Amino acid sequence: KTAGATEALKFGFRPIDIATDHEVHVPEGFETQVMVRWGDPLWSEAEGAYTDTNGVPVEMSDKVFGENTDGMELFVVDGKELIAVNSEYVNPKINLPAEAEGYPRTAQEVELLKNLQGVTVMEVAKGAQGYAVVVDSPYNRRITHETEMVLAGPLAGDDLVKTHADPKGMTVKGTMNNCGSGKTLWGTYLTCEENFNGYFGATGAQPVGQGYQRYGIGGEGRYGYEKFDARYDISQEPNEPHRHGFVTEIDPANPNSVPVKRSALGRFKHENAEMVHAKDGRVVVYLGDDERGEFLYKYVSKNTWAEGQDPSGLLDEGTLFAAKFNDDLSGEWLPLTPDTTGMSIAEILCFTRMAASAAGATTMDRPEWVAANPLKAEAYCALTNNKNRGVKPNAGGDDTATNAVNPRETNHYGQIVRWTPADENHAASEFVWDLYVMAGNPTLYNNDYAGSSNINAGNMFNSPDGMAFSSDGLLWIQTDGDYKNEGDFAGMGNNQMLVGDPDSGEIARFMTVPNGAEVTGLCWSADKTVAFVGIQHPGGSWPDGAGKPRSSVVSVWRKDGYAFG
């Protein structure tokens, strides 16, 4: 047992020890099992398509659950439970034959990789063996790097987004590097395009596009798409990267609906999209940009909304703000407008990072998920870590000196900031903030690397990333950090999911995931008796015990059947 693990059942469970093995662990009184793995069929024609030697064949690659599960949300449609879930990226080494050495050699191999990323909508149902995917459900859908979409909002139709294939700049193919998620007040899914830059490369002359440096565009694409498809070749289509890096809205209830890219929410490496209904009736979406020295944002709709109203326009007409955290624990949301940035509206939405720099926002230690407390007006953002402050600043970005909200020069462990908006109105332009937790290692340090007072030997973790509130007002924290369990990270073990009490600050370890994996994505069954948790990039041969490691969604429930979400 790890010293100091609290035996209290404050959270309804006894906190668990760290793990360094290749299993999933949950507290006594809980049970877990794998619900769906990379390569599992969504339609019966794909049954048996996955093999542990060859993975998924290209012809079935858009009929199975994708790889590297990430953000997800559950919807109830006509009494059915649907989960929309991201597949953030693929590992070419385990998807392609060994001879490919991790890099596609043909257009077919590129197609395979494209199909195993994007978004899955799937019906799930509880049977005698627990929750499973409903194979052949009419709601099942795969959305990939090739799915037709609409570009909406003020950037649509601008010269910045026109290409040979889309001379009007109104329709885009695909959503890519879908990281975190969100759910609208009107029951649609928000999927967030994070490291989209890596899908583009230059086969010829490297264009020097506006914003290329700040967004990391150039060089060779991560998956070699540009060698087989001109759309991804910035030598031929320099504007194509401007059409990605958005929050994309998908209606899970209608498998024929056309996804919509919401340009009004800005273009950057979006982590997730946490929507809240502000006290004044407007719709607010909190947004993190996961890169060292980038910013935390929020979008506020122009118009108000009430249950039952048509939500058209709410995510197209509004204002984007970037956060400024003052040292005296006050803060301001800085509007990104032509006046504050010297840029046009289209430029602000296409080169949002530069707009926020111009407005004077506070550089952050990699803003990952934002989660809003359903019981009171406050929100939290995981600032995962910053290992390179001053060593490798974001090209073209701002100076990233420490500040009150990112206080550590070398930040291996990360922290979680929270803020309360003025007048308890999420649409307000002022807020007060504090650090909910500074992760650290109090067994090694007694300076600020020990972490805040709510960190102890029994709940140590590093690199908070995924976060979600349960309906009872507890904050669930998922980690994507160093899992070697040595050096600065000794005593932290594999990545984990913890539960935090916003009021007392107490944090307890609920789950550990297989060595190598991060835990990301969390939602609950409609009756809150089952949690669905994403296990991304596991090592070894989890969960099959032989063959390739398979990212999966697991279900977790109380043996006594009580709700816990």
Shortest distance in whole angstroms from residue 343 CB to ligand FEO:
26
Q: How far is the CB of 194 from ligand FEO (least distance, A)?
A: 5
| Helix runs in 27-106, H state only | 92-95
Distance of closest approach, residue 150 Cβ to Ca ion, in angstroms: 26
**What type of residue sits at position 381?**
C
Say which entry of ligand FEO, Ca ion, none residue 365 contacts (CB below 5 to 8 A, set by partner kind). none
Count of all residues that appear for the chain in the document: 565
Query: SS3 of 116, please?
Result: coil
Q: Which does 294 bind (CB under 5 to 8 A by kind): Ca ion, ligand FEO, none?
A: none
User: Which DSSP symbol is given to 331?
Assistant: E
Which DSSP category does 83 fall into? Answer: E
The smaller minimum CB distance to Ca ion, of residues 193 and 368, is found at 368
Whether 377 contacts 279, CB under 8 Å: yes
Give the N- to C-terminal CA distance of the chain in Å, as an integer.
27
Q: Among residues 2 and 68, whose Cβ is nearest to ligand FEO?
A: 68
Contacts of 389 (CB under 8 A, 6+ apart): 292, 365, 400, 402, 409, 410, 411
Q: Which two tokens stand for residue 329?
A: 């624990």
Among 229, 274, 289, 480, binds Ca ion (CB under 5 A): 480
Return all residues near 132 (Cβ < 8 A) that are at least 6 apart.
35, 36, 124, 125
Which of positions 404-423 make contact with Ca ion (CB under 5 A)?
A: none
Identity of the residue, 112 or 179, whose beta carbon is nearer to ligand FEO in the bound complex:
179
Rounded to 5 degrees, what angle do the CA atoms 356, 260, 282 make?
60
For the beta sheet containing 189-193, the strands, ordered from the edge strand earlier in sequence to the opposite edge, are 171-173, 148-152, 260-262, 247-250, 189-193, 178-183
Encoded tokens for 235: 């030598």
Chain residues in the site for ligand FEO (CB under 6 A): 88, 179, 194, 271, 290, 368
Q: Which is nearer to ligand FEO, 88 or 240 (CB)?
A: 88
Q: Which of 448, 446, 353, 433 has its CA nearest to residue 398?
A: 353
Using CA atoms, how far apart are residues 69 and 65, in angstroms rounded to an integer? 9
Q: Which one-letter DSSP state was computed for residue 412?
A: S
Three-state secondary structure of 466-527: EEEECCCCCEEEEECCCCCCCHHHCCCCCCEEEEECCCCCCEEEEEECCCCCEEEEEEECCC
Neighbouring CB atoms inside 10 A of 76's CB total 12
237 binds, among Ca ion, ligand FEO, none (CB under 5 to 8 A by kind): none
Nearer to ligand FEO, 285 or 530 (CB): 285
Residue 229's binding partner out of ligand FEO, Ca ion, none, with CB under 5 to 8 Å set by partner kind: none
Answer with the entry of ligand FEO, Ca ion, none that 109 interacts with (C-beta below 5 to 8 A by kind): none
From the list 6-14, 223-231, 275-283, 472-480, the region that binds Ca ion by CB under 5 A is 472-480
Q: Are 178 and 117 in contact (CB under 8 A)?
A: yes
Angstrom distances, CA of residue 30 to CA of 304, 347, 537:
42, 50, 24
- Cβ 186 to ligand FEO shortest distance, Å: 26
Q: Which residue number, 145 or 282, has a Cβ lying nearer to Ca ion?
A: 145
Q: Which of Ca ion, ligand FEO, none is residue 240 near (CB under 5 to 8 Å by kind)?
A: none
Could you tell me which of 114, 84, 112, 111 has the C-alpha nearest to residue 255? 84
In the complex, least distance from residue 295 CB atom to Ca ion, rounded to whole angstroms: 16
Window contacting Ca ion (CB under 5 A); options: 125-133, 195-203, 206-214, 368-376: 368-376
332 binds, among ligand FEO, Ca ion, none (CB under 5 to 8 A by kind): none
Residue 40 engages Ca ion in binding (rule: CB under 5 A): no
Smaller CB separation from Ca ion, 11 or 369: 369
Q: Are 202 and 226 in contact (CB under 8 A)?
A: yes
* Among Ca ion, ligand FEO, none, residue 194 binds (CB under 5-8 Å by kind): ligand FEO
**Candidate segments 34-42, 137-145, 364-372, 410-418, binder of Ca ion by CB under 5 A:** 364-372
The residue count for binding Ca ion (CB under 5 A) is 3
The minimum distance between CB 248 and ligand FEO, in angstroms, equals 15
**Beta carbon nearer to ligand FEO, 68 or 441:** 68
Q: Which is nearer to Ca ion, 216 or 458 (CB)?
A: 216
Nearer to ligand FEO among residue 332 and residue 368 (C-beta) = 368
Q: What angle do CA 368, 370, 373 make, to 5 degrees?
A: 155
Residues 437-466 that bind Ca ion (CB under 5 A): 465
* Partner whose binding site includes residue 123, from Ca ion, ligand FEO, none (CB under 5 to 8 Å by kind): none
Phi-psi region of 450 (alpha: psi -120 to 50; beta: other; left: phi over 0): alpha
* Partner interacting with residue 226 (select from ligand FEO, Ca ion, none; CB below 5-8 Å by kind): none
Residue with token string 């969960």: 543
Nearest-approach distance from CB 384 to ligand FEO, in angstroms: 7
By CB under 5 A, is residue 274 in contact with Ca ion? no
* Under rule CB under 5 A, residue 289 binds Ca ion: no
How near is the Cβ of 217 to ligand FEO at its closest, in Å?
A: 18
Is the Cβ of residue 66 or residue 458 nearer to ligand FEO in the bound state? 66
The residue among 166 and 465 lying less far from Ca ion, judged by its C-beta, is: 465
Cβ at position 547, least distance to ligand FEO in Å:
25
Instruction: Kindly compute the dihedral angle of the four CA atoms of residues 384, 296, 145, 139, in this order, to the nearest 10 degrees.
Output: 90
Q: Footprint of Ca ion on this chain (CB under 5 A)?
A: 368, 465, 480
